[in-house]
């Protein structure tokens, strides 16, 4: 596999505080996404949203790895691209996600 340009996982979402942006009716929680042992350093990302969004971003490196493994598995078991309909959807969706993640 090629060297990734993103911060490798595992990552973790940390609740920081509530922020009340000017002009917004409700306070917004702020989460940071950080690598282990990097708390207090510059975060990978800051999320002004729900904990679900922060958790999804924190899971991104592992989800990317799963997509890569799924493609490798399907290519290994069907080397001649003789895939059934479900396998074709899976491999195409995984390849698209990998391209999007790697830029």
pLDDT at 37 over 60: yes
Name the residue with tokens 């195409």: 92
- What Cα–Cα distance (Å) separates residue 14 from each residue in 17, 34, 53, 102? 10, 8, 12, 25
pLDDT at 2 over 60: no
pLDDT at 88 over 70: yes
Tell me the mean pLDDT in the region 2-15: 72
């Amino acid at each position: 596999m090629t060297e990734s340009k993103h911060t490798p996982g595992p990552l973790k979402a940390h609740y920081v505080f509530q922020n009340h942006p000017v002009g917004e009716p409700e306070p917004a929680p702020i989460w940071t996404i950080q690598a282990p042992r990097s708390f207090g350093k510059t975060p990978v990302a800051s999320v002004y949203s729900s904990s679900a969004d922060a958790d999804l971003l924190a899971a991104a490196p592992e989800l990317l790895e799963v997509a890569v493994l799924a493609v490798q598995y399907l290519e290994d078991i069907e080397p001649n691209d003789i895939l059934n309909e479900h396998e074709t959807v899976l491999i195409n969706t995984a390849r698209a996600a990998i391209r999007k993640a790697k830029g």
